[in-house]
A = this chain, B = another copy of it.
Amino acid sequence: MRFHDISVTVTSMLPTWPGDPKVELDRVEKIEEGANANVSRVAMGVHTGTHVDAPYHFLEDGTTVDTLPLDILIGSVQVVDLGDQVDLITADVLQKASIIPGVSRILFKTRNSQIWERGETEFQTSFVGISADGAEYLVSKGIQLVGIDYLSIAPYKNSRPTHQILLNAKVIIIEGLDLSNVKAGVYQLVCLPLKLGGSDGAPARTVLIEQ
């Protein structure tokens, strides 16, 4: 078994969605100052770094992240590499994308992954997302989990339609993946969001297993 960690590292330098809380990560007890142990504290928005959106993020009566089904968060996944030239993932793009018939989990590698590779600390607005008709296409194909390699599944300044279509259909959304070191193909996905009670989302360490 070979493991690919597709999670970004959470530090206070990590770019965050405009208006969302910044990451604070500080050691609050220090052995060198006489403490029994080193103890850190983290404070962040729940949509920080690699994270999962629950329906409650965009739907007032939606389910929360602590109830998302593990049998969707864990299982076989297709990584689709859309290359550098796709700026918006539309139904038309998806029809040509060699999606394996019957697949239920899909991660899109786009030029977004280069943002993580470059180590940008400022939030980037020109990222690739999925259009509303792209979201409808994925739902029509029975997709149950979809992931993308920057901080929103939807294009910037047009968050609602894509999120609502996916979340209404109970599709789990993973955002903030770093797919820069992963090739297209089929893997075992393990995405484990923190079990934050009643929350609209949660940071999620996410790993691909190659068997």
Q: Residues of A with Cβ closer than 8 Å to B? A: 1, 3, 5, 7-11, 19-21, 24-25, 27-29, 31-32, 36-47, 49-50, 56-58, 60, 66, 70-71, 74, 159-160, 163, 190, 192-201, 203-207, 209
Contacts and interface: CB of A to CB of B under 8 A. Distances in A.
Listed residue (A36, A40, A45, A193) with the most chain B CB atoms within 10 angstroms of its CB: A40
A39 B45 contact: yes
A24 to B, nearest CB: 8
Q: How many copies does the complex hold?
A: 2
A49 B130 CA distance: 35
18 contacts: A3-B70, A3-B74, A11-B197, A24-B43, A25-B198, A27-B200, A32-B60, A39-B201, A40-B45, A40-B46, A40-B196, A40-B199, A42-B42, A42-B44, A192-B206, A194-B203, A204-B205, A205-B205
A188 to B, nearest CB: 10
A57 B31 CA distance: 9
B56 A39 contact: no
Contact of A196 (B3, B37, B42, B58): B42
A39 B205 contact: no
Contacts of A66: 9
B31 A60 contact: yes
The 8 closest A-B pairs by CB, nearest first: A43-B43, A192-B205, A11-B197, A3-B70, A38-B200, A192-B192, A9-B197, A40-B46
Listed residue (A159, A195, A200, A206) with the most chain B CB atoms within 10 angstroms of its CB: A195
A169 to B, nearest CB: 17
A46 B37 contact: no
A207 B74 contact: yes
Given A195-B5, A195-B10, A205-B192, A38 B57 contact: yes
A208 to B, nearest CB: 10
Given A3-B71, A3-B74, 19 more contacts: A8-B195, A11-B198, A21-B41, A25-B196, A25-B197, A36-B159, A37-B159, A38-B57, A39-B57, A39-B201, A40-B45, A40-B199, A41-B46, A42-B43, A50-B195, A74-B209, A190-B190, A194-B194, A205-B205
